[in-house]
Homo-oligomer: A and B are copies of this chain.
Amino acid sequence: MKLYDYFRSSAAYRVRIALNLKGIVPDERTFVHLRMGNQRAQDYLALNPQGLVPALALDEGAVLTQSLAIVEYLDETHREPPLLPHDPVGRARVRAIALSIACEIHPLNNLRVLNYLIGTLGVSREQKDGWYRYWIDVGFEALEKTLARDSATGRFCHGDTPTLADICLVPQMANARRFEIDLSPYPTLIRIESACNALPAFAEAAPARQPDAE
C-alpha cells in the first residue's frame, strides 16, 4: 500500500497513528505539500477528487480516502490490536468522540477554510486566530465534560487501550498546542494525550518526526 501524507495534516496524522498501532508499514509514502497547493495538482486530483490528504492506495488498485474510513478499514482488515471496543454501545461511544473532533472541530480549522476566511471574507489575522481558538474551545469543553464524567473513560478515552477516539484526540491536541491555546481547562484531555504520547505508535506519528517536516 501507498500512503499520501503531509506532516502537518491532522487527518494524515490519525492514519499514521493507526498504521503504527497495527504495525503496518506502507510500501511507499508520498508527501503532498498542502501549503504549496500540491493537493490541487491534476495527478493528485485524478487519484482523490477531494484534493485532501490522506489517501491510501491499496495494491489491488482501490484508493481509500477520508481518515476515519481508512482507520476503520485498517481495523477491519488487521484485527490486532482492535481500535474499537467489541460492544455496540462502546463502539458508538468511541465513534462519537472521534466524530466530535473530526466533524465539529477539525473541518472548521482546515487550511482551506482559514484561507477562505482571510482571502474571500477579508477577516483579520486576529479574527482568524479567534475563530480557530473558538471552535477548539467549544469542542474541547464538551469533550472534557463527556470524558471526565463517564466511568467508561480509562487510561485512554475508552478503557485502557487506545482507540479511534485517541487517534483523533492527539492530533487535535497538537493543533491546539501549536496555536498556544490554554489547555488548563481540559485536564482529562491532557492526561489522555500524555498516556497516548508515551506509546511509540503515537510519538512516532507526530508531525515533527516525519521526513517532510519543516
Task: List A residues at the B interface (Cβ < 8 Å).
Answer: 49-52, 58, 60, 62, 64-66, 68-70, 72-73, 76-77, 88-89, 91-93, 95-96, 99-100, 102-104, 106-108, 113, 116-117, 120-121, 123, 127, 130-131, 134, 141-143, 145-146
Is A92 touching B69 in the complex (CB atoms < 8 A)? yes
Are B116 and A121 in contact, with the CB atoms below 8 A? Answer: no
Cβ B131 vs Cβ A116 within 8 A: yes
Contact A88 B73 (CB under 8 A): yes
In the complex, 13 of the A-B residue pairs with CB atoms within 8 angstroms, ordered by the A residue number, are A49-B141, A49-B142, A49-B143, A50-B146, A65-B96, A66-B103, A68-B99, A68-B103, A69-B96, A69-B99, A72-B92, A104-B107, A116-B134
Bound Cα distance A24, B56 (Å): 36
When C-beta atoms are compared, the residue in chain B nearest to A112 turns out to be B138
Given contacts A76-B91, A104-B50, contact A131 B121 (CB under 8 A): yes
* Docked pose: A141 CA to B49 CA in angstroms: 8
A95 and B66 in contact (CB under 8 A), knowing A50-B104, A88-B73?
yes
A88-B76, A127-B121 in contact; A142/B108 too (CB < 8 A)? no
Q: Name the CB-closest residue of B to A123.
A: B121
